[in-house]
Amino acid sequence: MAAAAGLAKSERLTFREDIQDLFSGENQKVGKFPLLVLYKITDQTVFDSHKVMFSVSKRKFGKAVDRNRLKRLMREAYRTCERRSDLRLASDKQIHLAFIYTGKGSESYIDINKAIKKIHDVLIERIAESN
């Protein structure tokens, strides 16, 4: 049986300082229902040009099973997005992304995938403007 393809460890946003910096007031937002994306372009020199995290509110989805399912759907939609490679920045820059699920109920994979594709289009335009 083949191993499941997922996000590489180097693509995950895991450092507490980076996450706190992303959720501080100095970030930018893109929203396409049922997702909200906070992003920040940083001056870090690393191999990957972007790092990502996924979040679902415990207040709206009390059961861990429901939260984990939504995060799994968001990760898979992000991983399979063909435009993901277009988020490349200059070699001395990195983008941090936080996908936050804002819907009140569970959405299907198709709806989440459409939202992620629209968000990627907006992000690509904004990155092109900032370069």
Domains and CATH numbers, the chain: 10-126 (3.30.230.10)
Per the listing, tokens 């991983």 go with: 79
pLDDT (0 to 100) of residue 129: 80
Of 68, 61, 77, residue with least CA distance to 109: 77
User: Is residue 83's pLDDT more than 70?
Assistant: no
Burial of 118: CB neighbours in 10 Å, binned 0-12, 13-18, 19+ = middle
pLDDT (0 to 100) of residue 38: 94
pLDDT tens digits, 31-64: 899 999 999 888 776 666 788 999 999 999 999 9
Output phi, psi for 103, to 5 deg. Answer: -70, 160
Q: Are 99 and 78 in contact (CB under 8 A)?
A: yes
Residue bearing the bigger pLDDT, 114 or 9? 114
pLDDT tens digits, 89-106: 656 678 889 999 999 998
For the question of whether the overall pTM of this predicted structure is more than 0.75, the answer is: yes
